Amino acid sequence: MRAGIERAFDLDPAPRPTEELSTELEPRPGPELEQHRSVSGLGEPDPGTVAGRRNVFDGELVEAVGEHATAGATGEVADLEHQEASVGEYRDVAVARGEPLEPPDPGVPGSRPCDERLVGFEARGGRPSNSGVGPLPAHPSGRIGVAARRRRERGMRIGMLTGGGDCPGLNAVIRAVVRRGAGEHGYDFVGYRHGWRGLIDGETMPLSLETTHGLLARGGTILGTSRTNPYKVDGGVERVKATMLRDEVEALIAIGGEDTLGVAHKLSLEGVSVVGVPTTIDNDLSATDCACGFHTAVQTATDAIDRLHTTAESHDRVMVVEVMGRHAGWIAAYAGIAGGADIVLVPEEPFDLADVCERLARRHRRGVGYSILVVAEGATPKAGTMVLQDGDVDAFGHVRLGGIGNALAPAIEERTGFETRVTMLGHVLRGGTPTAYDRVIATRFGLAAIDAVHTGAFATMVALRGTDVVTVPIEDGVAELNTVDERFYADARAFFA
């Protein structure tokens, strides 16, 4: 190592004091210096400290640390024998060794749990200690010292995931978070694949300005998703925390609906720094006027109802249109009003099959030979009016819904004699490109989420209040379901057959 330093700086073999060495280590101006700064991400050298100097001589990158230096070429970091250790780097060393994460106290001799005392470090305030340089233990990757220091010079590392059912606008949220986080704050991002399962299994993908380019109008999620619940997996929560520690993730942005943000809330109670983003077509999260993805689902359902009007009229049929929404009837109510449905059935108000059939018959007696009935997947009949089959239960304890339309259509045809058909929109409501409204709200949610991380407003969820995007306690968003209120449903009922 010494010979390499002598060659790089054209030094005499005999060692000289650090002060004498420092006067000779002035960076040489020229294109080579700018090129290496660009490739390696290094900033301007600090002429006031030897440890802060980065120099380029004859195309070779040299970082001087006291009387030692580390040399690398073409952007690669060479083996590290000695270098100064910041308080932040000490944490990395402890993690690599499996030691406690308490930072060393530079003022108390012997306070470091490592055998080799990490002395001579400069604290974040730039105050040097009075000791010399000690050796850093090796990290498995061989890159922890310089890489960790460069990352901390840019900012923290943030994890991001999308969980639960997908919806239009997820990618737009990811794009906005990275755009402001990396572009303005210099943060690093790591994406976890397939929701909470990615944190349990340690499956990641890079997120950067380059990898998130062009996502605004793209449906789905580049991160993938799943309905994995770490609290239902053996050791799941511990594995989530271990993955975050492994990846040096200091904060987490959880993007999803009731279940995803419910897990985020529980983790926040255990000390994990989390910010939530409400994205669900069901629009069933409290504390926000609207969730990202809802308006696109409504528009998709409305477009389908518009098309069904013409074929229903041509064949004098009753068309039963089943939409998603779980136990909240927002999609059915909004799309029913927008699409001119004749009857809308929602989970919030159990329906009477006899009343439904009477309304359809009355419409036919008025000379209208077709009808459109919109039903939410979670709608249920009043006790004793219909028999429904029980569904399976997912990892969050929810019954898998879907199929009410298939039960309702034959019952209507049997009682009325009207030819009845079913259209189950199902997952088509989750797909496709987001509407202009959802692109805007997703972008604003993403920007607000990274702002919350930047200001340390953890255990919160971004929310829409009127036209303002605010942060609220994440607990408020998942405390209870946001369901269709009676006054809104009365507006839809005014147009019933």
Chain centroid to Cα 394, Å, comes to: 22
Q: What are the tokens at 25?
A: 């280590």
Q: Which are the contacts of 139, defined by CB distance < 8 A and separation ≥ 6?
A: 92, 93, 96, 145
Distances (CA, A) of 191 to 65, 171, 205, 293: 34, 12, 5, 20
Phi-psi region of 110 (alpha: psi -120 to 50; beta: other; left: phi over 0): left
Rounded CA-CA distance 79/138 in Å is 9
Contact call for residues 430 and 281 (beta carbons, < 8 A): yes
Distances (CA, A) of 283 to 4, 229, 333, 451: 63, 21, 12, 23
Sign of the alpha-carbon torsion through 394, 396, 399, 402? negative
Annotated active-site residue 282? The verdict is yes
Exactly one of 282, 284, 438, 451 is catalytic; name it: 282
Distances (CA, A) of 323 to 183, 300, 410, 427: 40, 10, 18, 9
Rounded CA-CA distance 491/497 in Å is 13
Rounded CA-CA distance 277/290 in Å is 11
Question: Rounded to a whole number, what is the largest CA-CA distance in the chain?
Answer: 109
DSSP E strands: which ranges in 58-127?
A: 60-65, 68-72
Q: Which of 288, 287, 290, 291 is CA-nearest to residue 279? A: 291
Residues with a known catalytic role:
282
